[in-house]
C-alpha cells in the first residue's frame, strides 16, 4: 500500500465523514443530557449516510435522473442510484426512531423530573438500596 | 463541535438543524438530489421541530456536569483508527471502476425507464423494485408513531401539573 498524494486525495472525503461520525459518537458517549445524546446520534447517523452516498458518487457524474428518455445514452454519466434508494429509506426510519427516543425522554422526565443521565442513575441506585434494605428486613423479620 | 460546549439546548438543536441543511447541500454535491430533498425536509425540518417540542416539554438548560472525558476520548479514537484502517482498501472517491459501480447500478439505470417510464431512477427503484421494502418502511413509521402515542398518552395534562 503506497501512500501517494492521489491515494490521500481519493480517501480524504471518507476520512472527513469518519471524523464527523466520531464527533457524533463522542457526544453520545460523553454528554449526560439525553436530548444532547439524541442530537449526537443524529450527527452520527447523517455522517454514515454521507459515507454511504459517497460510495455511489462517480467523478463527473450527474444525478440519476435520465436526461433523454431513451436511456442508454453512453455520453452522460450518472451516479449510482442504489445507495440513494437505501439511504432514502434509512432517513425515514431514522426520524421514526428519533421521534420514539424523544417521546421516551419526555416520559423519563415525567417519572424522574430530570433528563440528566447521572441524576437518573443516582435516583435509581437510591431506589435499589431502599428496596434491598426492605427485602433484608422482611427476610430477617 | 459547538454542540459539545453549549449549555443552552435551544442553540444545540438549532445547530443540529443547520448541520442537517449543510449535509443536504453535501448530498446535492454528491449527486443524490432525492436524498438531499428528504434530508432537508425530514432532518432539518421535522426532527428539529420534534426536538424543540421535546425541549419545551422538558428542560431548556443543560446541567453543567463534569463527566470524565478521557475514557470516551479513548473509545472514540480507537473506533476512528479502526474505521480509517478499514477505508484504506477502498477505491478512490468518485472512481469509475469501484465494485459498487460495476454491477447493478448501471443495469438499473438502463432498465428502469423501460420498465416504469419514470425518468427519475431513484423514484423508480424505490417505488417498484423495492416496493415491498418501502411498504415495510411505512410499517416501521406506523409502529414508531404508535409507540409515541402510547408513551405520551399516559402523560398527565399540563393543567394537572399546575
Give pLDDT, residue A116: 80
Contacts of A74 (CB under 8 A, 6+ apart): none
Position B39 pLDDT exceeds 50: yes
C-beta of residue B150 within 8 angstroms of C-beta of residue A105: no
Hey, is the C-beta of B66 within 8 angstroms of any chain A C-beta? Answer: no
pLDDT, mean of residues B9-22: 87
CA-to-CA distance for A119 and A95, rounded, in angstroms?
27
Query: Contact, B44 vs B20, CB < 8 A?
Result: yes
| pLDDT average, residue stretch B1-9 | 64
Mutate: best of A27, A44, A57, A61, partner B, most B CBs <10 A: A57
CA dihedral B79, B84, B89, B93 (to 10 degrees): 130
Share of chain B above pLDDT 70, in %: 88
Instruction: List the domain boundaries for chain B.
Output: 1-65, 67-120, 130-162
At A72 the pLDDT is 55
Residue A124, burial from CB neighbour count under 10 angstroms (0-12, 13-18, 19+): exposed
Q: What integer is the mean pLDDT of B116-134?
A: 80
How open is the CA angle A110-A99-A84, to the nearest 5 degrees? Answer: 165
3-state secondary structure of B81: helix
pLDDT band at residue B142 using 50, 70 and 90 as cut-offs: very high
Reference A82, options B59, B86, B31; nearest CA is B31
Least CB–CB distance from A39: residue in B12, B119, B133:
B12
Number of neighbouring beta carbons within 10 Å of residue A15: 14
Name which of A32, A101, A43 is nearest B44 in CA terms. Answer: A43
* Degrees to nearest 5, angle at CA A119 with A113 and A124: 90
Q: Is A75 exposed, middle or buried (0-12, 13-18, 19+ CB in 10 A)?
A: exposed
Q: What is the pLDDT of residue B159?
A: 46
Whether chain B has a CB inside 8 Å of the CB on A27: the answer is yes
Whether the pLDDT of residue B161 is over 50: the answer is no
Nearest by CB to residue B126, choosing from A15, A71, A85, is A85
ipTM above 0.90, yes or no: no
The CA distance from A113 to A101, in Å, is 17
CB B8 within 8 A of CB B61: yes
pLDDT value for A29: 85
Q: Which domains does chain A have, with CATH numbers?
A: 5-116 (1.10.287.3510)
Residue B119 pLDDT > 80? no
pLDDT at residue number B139: 92
pLDDT of residue A85: 86
Q: Spell out the per-residue pLDDT of chain A, length 141, in tens.
A: 556 777 777 788 888 888 888 888 888 888 878 888 888 899 999 999 988 888 878 777 777 777 766 555 566 777 788 888 888 888 888 999 999 999 888 888 888 887 787 788 888 888 888 888 888 888 776
Give pLDDT, residue A2: 55
- Chain B nearest-CA distance from A137, in A, is 34
CA-to-CA distance for A127 and B90, rounded, in angstroms? 51
Render pLDDT for B71-116 as a digit per residue (tens, 0 to 9).
Answer: 888 888 888 888 888 888 777 777 777 777 777 777 777 777 777 7
Whether B42 contacts A95, CB under 8 Å = yes
What is the predicted pLDDT for the residue at A73?
A: 55
In angstroms, the CA A60 to CA B102 distance is 16
Q: What's the whole-model pTM score?
A: 0.83
Q: What is the pLDDT of residue B71?
A: 83
pLDDT at B153 > cutoff 60: yes
**Reduced to 3 states, what is the DSSP secondary structure of residue B48?**
helix
Amino acid at each position: 500500500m503506497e501512500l501517494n498524494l492521489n491515494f490521500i486525495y481519493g480517501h480524504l472525503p471518507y476520512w472527513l465523514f469518519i471524523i464527523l461520525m466520531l464527533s457524533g459518537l463522542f457526544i453520545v458517549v460523553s454528554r449526560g443530557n439525553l436530548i444532547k445524546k439524541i442530537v449526537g446520534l443524529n450527527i452520527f447517523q447523517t455522517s454514515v449516510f454521507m459515507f454511504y452516498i459517497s460510495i455511489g458518487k462517480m467523478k463527473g457524474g450527474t444525478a440519476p435522473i435520465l436526461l433523454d428518455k431513451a436511456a442508454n445514452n453512453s455520453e452522460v454519466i450518472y451516479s449510482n442510484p442504489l445507495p440513494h434508494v437505501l439511504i432514502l429509506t434509512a432517513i425515514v426510519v431514522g426520524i421514526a426512531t428519533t421521534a420514539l427516543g424523544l417521546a421516551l425522554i419526555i416520559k423519563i422526565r415525567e417519572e424522574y423530573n430530570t433528563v440528566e443521565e447521572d441524576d437518573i442513575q443516582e435516583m435509581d441506585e437510591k431506589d435499589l438500596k431502599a428496596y434491598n434494605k426492605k427485602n433484608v428486613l422482611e427476610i430477617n423479620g | 463541535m459547538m454542540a459539545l460546549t453549549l449549555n443552552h439546548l435551544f442553540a444545540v438543536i438549532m445547530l443540529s438543524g443547520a448541520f442537517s441543511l449543510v449535509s443536504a447541500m453535501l448530498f446535492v454535491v454528491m449527486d443524490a438530489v432525492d436524498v438531499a430533498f428528504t434530508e432537508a425536509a425530514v432532518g432539518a425540518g421535522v426532527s428539529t421541530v420534534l426536538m424543540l417540542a421535546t425541549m419545551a416539554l422538558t428542560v431548556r438548560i443543560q446541567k453543567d456536569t463534569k463527566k470524565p472525558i478521557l475514557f470516551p476520548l479513548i473509545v472514540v479514537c480507537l473506533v476512528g483508527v479502526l474505521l480509517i484502517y478499514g477505508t484504506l482498501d477502498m477505491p478512490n472517491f468518485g472512481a469509475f471502476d469501484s465494485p459498487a459501480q460495476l454491477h447493478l447500478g448501471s443495469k438499473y439505470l438502463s432498465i428502469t425507464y423501460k420498465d416504469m417510464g419514470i425518468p427519475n431512477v431513484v423514484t423508480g427503484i424505490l417505488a417498484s423494485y423495492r416496493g415491498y421494502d418501502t411498504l415495510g418502511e411505512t410499517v416501521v413509521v406506523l409502529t414508531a408513531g404508535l409507540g409515541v402515542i402510547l408513551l405520551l398518552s399516559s402523560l398527565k395534562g399540563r393543567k394537572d401539573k399546575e
